[in-house]
Structure 1
Amino acid sequence: MRKLIAGLVVLLSSYAHAGTLTYSDDIEILAVNGVRADKVDAVQLRPGKNIIQIRYAEIFGDEYSDSVSWYRSKPAFVSFDVESGDIYHLDVPQYISREDAEQFDIEPDVSLTKVDGDKKEVNVVSVVELVNTIYLSLI
């Protein structure tokens, strides 16, 4: 009986975390499937559809004044399907300036790659798009 219970625990724990998500240093994971996320190197994902709330954050230098400015985008939502055992990496483009990075708020650019190098299709929605969608559905 104990072996049966131990087997079920192992089976259920492997099902509960179908995949793993790593991400670049300039991404902050704010929430995973509606649950606030702690600062970790990798996030465990459940099988099926997952929604990750992210923010782009980077420090930009000004070569003329030797000053730096910290940029943190508005949150964006990334959704994608997870297959059992897969490892994914989330990345954003390398922005040259703060002004370039501010485009992330208008149109977030995110790429998701499986560990084997295959690109994974993602849906990315900015906060502005999300609010507009909700607002229009109420009219």
Structure 2
Amino acid sequence: MKTFITIAALTLVSLVSFSSSAASVSFPDSLSVTGINGDTKFDTHEIQLAEGKNLIELKYHDIFEVNADDSGAWVKSAPLYLIMSSNEQAQYQAMTPVIYTAEEAYDFIDNPVITLKDAQGESRDITLLNLHQLMAKLLLARE
């Protein structure tokens, strides 16, 4: 019993210290976080960032009505990657462009640019990387 209380207390302390000193990012419903810094199986829309550089794996998915008597068509992306630095207790909100049709969704997947807005209202556009672009960036950075 004493071991369980000790583990619970340590877990609570680590959660409190982690959440109070970390930046966070929230993503729209159409972007699911599937990995952070090599850890997988998140399937969430809001994450805590580690201090320093973070590699966030995302997947785009949304359903679009094709015609009135259809149940809809899913549009899904392969993994997309966001490299983001965090060194403060900032809160960010990621936004995709307004996407009304499956064609617009495929255009977004081909050129995935999101807007990242901070708590002060300042925003910047960031291009998400596909796997090939990520690998090229990592390999070229090592030279």
- TM-score tier after normalising by the smaller chain length: 0.7 to 0.9
- 2:110 equivalent among 106, 109, 127: 106
Q: Which residue of 2 aligns with 1:83?
A: 87
Change (3 A) 1:24 1:99: same
The TM-score with structure 2 as length reference comes to: 0.72
Query: What are the equivalent positions in structure 2 for 1:1-12 lying under 5 Å apart?
Result: none
CA separation of 1:46 and 1:17: change in aligned 2, threshold 3 A: farther
CA RMSD of aligned residues (A): 3.1
* Residue pairs, 1:1-139, within 5 angstroms: 13-14=17-18, 17-63=21-67, 65-120=69-124, 122=126, 124-130=128-134
Deviation at 1:104, TM superposition (A): 2.9
The answer to which of 16-25 and 76-85 deviates more is: 16-25
Q: Return 5+ residue gaps in structure 2 as ranges.
A: 1-9
Distance 1:132 1:44, change over 3 A: closer
- How many angstroms apart in 2 are the aligned matches of 1:85 and 1:135? 30
AA in 2 matched with 1:89: Q
Pair 70,87 (structure 1): closer, same or farther in 2 beyond 3 Å: same
Aligned position for 1:3: none
The structure showing larger relative contact order (alpha-carbon pairs under 8 Å, at least 6 residues apart) is 1
One-letter identity of the residue aligned with 1:13: S
**Residue by residue, what CA displacement relative to the aligned partner does 1:57-93 show, whole Å, maximum 9, x if unpaired?**
1000023554410111111111121132111111211
Residues 91 and 112 of structure 1 are in contact (CA less than 8 Å); yes or no, is this contact kept in structure 2? yes
Distance 1:122 1:99, change over 3 A: closer
After TM superposition, the score normalised by the length of structure 1 is 0.74
Matches of 1:37 and 1:98, distance apart in 2: 26
- Aligned-pair identity in percent equals 23
